[in-house]
Amino acid sequence: MPSTSNLLALAAAVSTASAAFQGFNYGASYGDGTVKVQSNFEDEFNNAASLVGTDGAFTSARLYTMVQGGSTNDPISAIPAAIKTKTSLLLGLWASAGRTSFDNEIAALKNTIDQYCGEIDDLVAGISVGSEDLYRISETGIAADSDPGCSPATLVDYIAETRAAIKGTCLSAIPVGHVDTWNAYSNDSNSAVIEACDWLGMDTYPYYQDTENNPVSEGASLFQAAFDKVTAVAGSREIWITETGWPVSGDTYNKAVASTKNARTYWEDVGCPMFGVTNVWWYTLQDAAPTTPNPSFGVVGSTLSKTPLYDLSCDGVDKTKISTGSGSSGSSSGSSSSSSDSDSAATPSTPATPASTPTGAQYSASYGGYSNSTATGIHSAYTTLAAASTPTSGSSSGSGSDSGSDSGSSASTAAGSSSTDAAGSSSGAQLNSFGAAAVALILAVAVL
């Protein structure tokens, strides 16, 4: 547990930097699959923090995996890079590649705790268990041929295991959550996952909502509608914006045109109102190395540069187009700038870092979390996202067949997975939390 003085120091540091976590998403590898090493992450983090027009505010990094590429469960090198550059982290455990892979994510989280406690304590904003895993087993995700996902019951298991792994460590106070598309949360069949989370990470791309009127001029209203839908099911949980953005180049989706001009408009309408107020990890700093994907969301091109492809300043911008309420900069995120409340500032989210051993396709997936083919296709699975804007609740989900790949890897959740109603999922969650408590006790003893 961090000491009071550490907490005060953190509160001061946080309040100096910004009122909320603000940064970008960072994949574990480049578009061609080349694994990033520590110096690559340092270059990216330093570049993000020095982007012209941003006043050095982009100092947080969301990761998709705890595992360094090429290793079984070594901590991802983004962690020492973040320590060196004073970059805060939203750690992520990849949850869509089955039990063995997730075990390695947990092992890497524990290895991170062993190696870096004392250095990362004040840097961790939160821990995300999974990324769009529920989207991938949704009707739209299956229709888009996305990767195997993860069932709600398995995710609840994984979340409990993650809590057990950080119990009694320097990351014990870090809030644990999940990242998914907005329509995954509004699907009643996934309610047990929400109940298991401290916060909800929302990914939203109006650009891909091609069954709606989605010119960039409607970007803010579509984003707001998604945020409101998640708010309706979030209870008291904060909603963190884990991915959103507009591409600078690429195909047109219905009325959505990719261009630097439109990327600027979306940044201005959607990003500026939230920066400093709500935790935001924008998509993305760079996705065009070594080659430019279609579409491309990077605010810089193939070469890192302090000069972005479009204006990133928020000076004089109308910040009324998005309202995220008071929740997202709340105390639970630790992102609070209220230096007088050392507790809330200190308790923010400094979760642990899980480890995974991505291989091949999973590696590509860990770049952005969408495609099983290449990192350049990371958002292809979103193409039909809008079709699910009004998810049917408690659907019989014959589509659950897709989750079979995941549930099969975790026998304990098989029963929960087959249950299509929220109640069934909830009971599974309770059973899982009992198991987690037992594991936590064992871990606590081990730590002592």
Ligand X SMILES: *[C@@H]1O[C@H](CO)[C@@H](O)[C@H](O)[C@H]1NC(C)=O
Supply the minimum distance, in Å, between the C-beta of residue 221 and ligand X: 23
Supply the minimum distance, in Å, between the C-beta of residue 63 and ligand X: 23
Q: Which is nearer to ligand X, 89 or 192 (CB)?
A: 192
Supply the minimum distance, in Å, between the C-beta of residue 236 and ligand X: 23
CB–CB of 353/73 below 8 Å? no
User: Which residues form the interface with ligand X (CB under 6 A)?
Assistant: 134, 137-139, 145, 152, 187, 189-190, 361, 372-373, 388, 391-392, 395, 397, 399-400
Q: Which is nearer to ligand X, 324 or 409 (CB)?
A: 409
Q: Which is nearer to ligand X, 395 or 427 (CB)?
A: 395
Cα→Cα distances 173→3, 58, 211, 325, 331, Å: 12, 24, 41, 24, 13
Distance, CA of 47 to CA of 37 (rounded, Å) = 16
CB–CB of 189/214 below 8 Å? no
Query: Which of 44, 132, 139, 212 does the annotation list as catalytic?
Result: 132
Query: Which of 42, 105, 212, 243 does the annotation list as catalytic?
Result: 243
Q: Which is nearer to ligand X, 101 or 111 (CB)?
A: 101
Structure tokens belonging to residue 225: 């509608």
Strand partners, 35: 29
Supply the minimum distance, in Å, between the C-beta of residue 352 and ligand X: 26
CB–CB of 276/15 below 8 Å? no
Q: Indicate if 243 belongs to the active site.
A: yes
Strand runs labelled E in 49-96: 60-63, 88-93
Q: Which is nearer to ligand X, 342 or 397 (CB)?
A: 397
Residues 6+ apart with CB under 8 A from 106: 93, 161, 162, 165, 354, 355
DSSP string, 395-446: ---TTHHHHHHHHTT-GGGHHHHH--SHHHHHHHHHHHHHHHHHHHHHHHHH
Supply the minimum distance, in Å, between the C-beta of residue 200 and ligand X: 15
As a residue count, the chain comes to 448
Element (H, E) at 128: strand 124-131
The set of catalytic residues is 132, 243
